[in-house]
Amino acid sequence: MAQAVKGLTLGDLNAQEGSHHELLRLRLALGWTILFAALVGLFAVSWDIQWHSAVGRDRTLTAPHLFILGSIVALGIPALIAVLVETRWAKRSSAIAKSGTPFAGFFSSSMGAYLVGYGALCSAIAFPVDQYWHTLYGIDVSLWAPFHIMALAGLSASCLGVVYIFISSATLATHDGAKGSARAGYIGAIIACAVLLGVFSIILEPSLEKSLFLGNLTFSVHPLMLGAFGMFTLVIATRVLPWRLAATSVALVYIFFGLVNYVLIPQLMTLLVGIEQQTYLPRAPHVAVLSVTWLYSLIIAAVLLDVVTGIAQRRAWSLRRASRATIVIALVGTVLAVLCSPLFLSIARLHTNFILFLAVSLLLGVLGGYVGTWLGTGIGESIRREA
Amino acid sequence: MSGTGSLVQKFLLALGVVALIFLLVEIGATLAATLHGSTPARVDHVTAGPYHFTVSLYDDPARAGFTLPFAIAPQGATGGSWTYQVTSMPLGTPNKRNGTILVDGKRSATPIKDSVSPDSQVPGGVQGTAEITVAGHWALQVVVDGPSGQQTFMVPVTATTLPAIPGWLGWFIGFIPVYIIAVFVFMQMRRKEQRAKNVVQVG
């Protein structure tokens, strides 16, 4: 006799559980594939920046460019597979359809898969257009060039998308009581947040040396961007991960990536310069450029955010009170992260009116931290909701 | 899903399909650029010391950002061993800041070692592809080591690119993903607000 639970037969429930299990496996497998591709993309961009600074942008298909292109393909294809397979499954199973987000009246997949695919497409389009931009303006155009930003924004969207995928996988796994898969999802989300922070660090790199002028006032946008990007990512981590050390874990993995950059990139440069029989440009940097500008001091903000999140949970603060406390701590964390950045301070000291420069820049940092926290809270909630 | 939301999603899908087609065409064009055509676009006869060469360029002017296929064939006696090293040399003024060369005084570029391989059809000859990274004046510097010793010669090349788009338009296009991410974030935040309102109304 079929047992009925809330209108569903046991057979229905078993079928639902089975389809959830398949969906979980698909999302985890593709999520880790995409994460690996994003990680390769992060280090390939770092290698490429080093190649441009030390050798010059020579050929189109240098090894770093090949790795970047490979990572874009490896981001896009699993995302496409995820969308197509889940759409097909959703047409056969209402349980899977409920776990997906419909798109354009035809597709059904996780929000993350759409974001990853969209990001990969943007980065892929940016590559040849950037090539054209270089033919017009030379090989050493700034990192803040239109199609570099397009490519990096695409990579950022992909990293954010993979966070969605992992959190949705972890939620499915928790529903199914699959603790190991849930842990794999959450660990993936931590690494994905760290990769996202890494991509943001690449976007931030030129901000260290750029000063803006408003009349007699000179200031830097570095604290503004550090606050916005840093808090955005760390607050997402505190919102979507059920662990007390969510933001700290992300910051630690991110710092590890900075150290890998420091060790790996010079080795790759030596190897490739030897293979290609290239010569270094005069004044070529021999230390990995990005490992120097990496935002190590964000660990302070991460620890503070985790502490306040932990206190809010233990004392069962209201949502409003917890949000206010998070904002205040994020702003303090931003200011401390800026003040503990020796590179930024050494550049700031070069300005005649150091105190005024620092004060205005920090004020902008507070603004950036506020915006980052606000957006991070909203997107964090969205990721949880979509899961 | 609201009517507007559905329209926006269909628009985004169409945009994605167009972008994908653009990408495939671009990949096709890049691959086609590496192939030697059946007839060269330009043939130069060069004398370097005791040697005489025919240099064939399969694009003239060259397209900056794409590879330039070329072939070098020695004329006269072609016995003995021949080795070639071809470098794309940007012509311009040195940029003291970072050691690059400013082509036509404005576009930075560096010399690039080009790939060559023996041409099975021509004894002692090679074919290869030259990398030309920026528009302007370049030269293929050929160092040849033949039976009568080493010689160097240059083949001038002019590279062109598509007409320049204004900087502001470049930035506008480059920021397209940022606009779409901003719209996405805005829509997610609005859904959150609407959900909060619904919860309040239900309460």
- pLDDT-wise least confident of A312-321, A331-340, B34-43: B34-43
Nearest CB neighbour to A153, from listed B131, B177, B188: B177
Query: Residue A1's pLDDT is what?
Result: 40
Write the CA distances from A336 to A64, A194, A209, A228, integer angstroms.
Answer: 35, 20, 20, 14
Q: Which long-range contacts (CB under 8 A, 24 or more apart) does B47-55 make?
A: B47/B153, B48/B142, B48/B144, B48/B151, B48/B152, B48/B153, B49/B148, B49/B149, B49/B151, B50/B148, B50/B151, B51/B144, B51/B146, B51/B148, B51/B151, B52/B76, B53/B142, B53/B144, B53/B153, B55/B140, B55/B142, B55/B155
Q: Is B144 helix (H, G, I), strand (E, B) or coil?
A: strand
CA of B148 vs chain A CAs: smallest distance (Å): 26
Judged by CB atoms closer than 8 Å, whether chains meet at A138 and B108 is answered as: yes
Q: What is the pLDDT of residue B118?
A: 92
* pLDDT attached to residue A97: 87
The reported pTM is 0.88
A100 against B128, higher pLDDT: B128
Minimum CA–CA partner of A161 in chain B: B181
Out of B109, B177, B181, closest to residue A139 by CB? B109
| pLDDT surpassing 90 at residue A329 | yes
Write the residue in B131, B173, B180 that is nearest to A146 by C-beta. Answer: B173
User: Of all residues in chain A, what percent carry a pLDDT higher than 70?
Assistant: 95
Size of interface A-B (CB pairs under 8 A): 147
- Tell me, what's the pLDDT at B83? 93
pLDDT of residue A2: 43
Least confident of A2-11, A83-92, A365-374: A2-11
Helical ranges in chain A per DSSP H: 10-54, 63-92, 94-99, 111-137, 146-176, 179-204, 222-240, 246-276, 289-293, 298-314, 319-339, 342-348, 354-386
Tell me how far the alpha carbon of residue A281 is from its chain's centroid: 32
Quick one: pLDDT band at residue A9, thresholds 50, 70, 90? Answer: low
| In the predicted structure, residue B176 carries a pLDDT above the cut 60 | yes
A191 or B162: which leads in pLDDT: A191
What is the reported pLDDT for B30? 75
Contact assignment for A150 to B176 by CB distance below 8 Å: yes
Domain residue spans of chain B: 1-33, 39-160, 166-203
CA distance linking residue A235 with residue A197, whole number of Å: 12
The span from the first CA to the last CA of chain A, in angstroms, equals: 34
pLDDT higher than 70, residue B194: no
pLDDT in tens, A199-229: 999 999 999 888 888 888 889 999 999 999 9
DSSP symbols for B27-85 = HHHHHHHTS--SS-SEEEEEEETTEEEEEEESSSSEETTSEEEEEEEE-S---S--EEE
> Can you say whether the dihedral through the CA atoms of A233, A235, A240, A245 is positive or negative?
positive
B65 and A CB contact within 8 Å: yes
- Interface membership of B176 toward A (CB under 8 Å): yes
Is B164 near chain A, with CB under 8 Å?
A: yes
Tell which residue, B109, B112, B114, B169, has the closest CA to residue B136: B109
**CATH 2.60.40.1930, applies to B39-160:** yes
Beta-strand ranges (E) seen in chain B are 42-48, 51-57, 62-63, 67-74, 83-90, 92-94, 101-103, 107-109, 112-113, 115-118, 126-131, 136-146, 149-160
**A281 CB within 8 Å of a chain B CB:** yes
In this model, does residue A197 exceed pLDDT 90? yes
Task: List, as ranges, residues 89-148 from A with C-beta within 8 Å of B.
Answer: 102-105, 115, 117-119, 121-122, 124-126, 128-129, 131-140, 145-148
A375 touches chain B (CB under 8 A): yes
Q: Is the pLDDT of residue B107 over 50?
A: yes
Q: Does the structure show a pLDDT above 60 at A164?
A: yes
What was the pLDDT predicted at B196? 61
Q: Which of the given ranges, A137-151, A290-304, B13-27, has the highest pLDDT on average?
A: A290-304
Which pLDDT score is estimated for A303? 97
CA A119/CA A209 separation, integer angstroms? 28
Q: Would you place residue B86 in the very low, low, confident or very high pLDDT band (cuts 50, 70, 90)?
A: very high
Contacts of B200 (CB under 8 A, 6+ apart): none
Q: Are B53 and B75 in contact (CB under 8 A)?
A: yes
Residue B203: pLDDT band (50, 70, 90) is very low
For chain A, domains (ranges, CATH) are: 16-209 (1.20.120)
Q: Does A70 have pLDDT greater than 80?
A: yes
Of A290, A284, A292, the closest CA to residue A56 belongs to A284
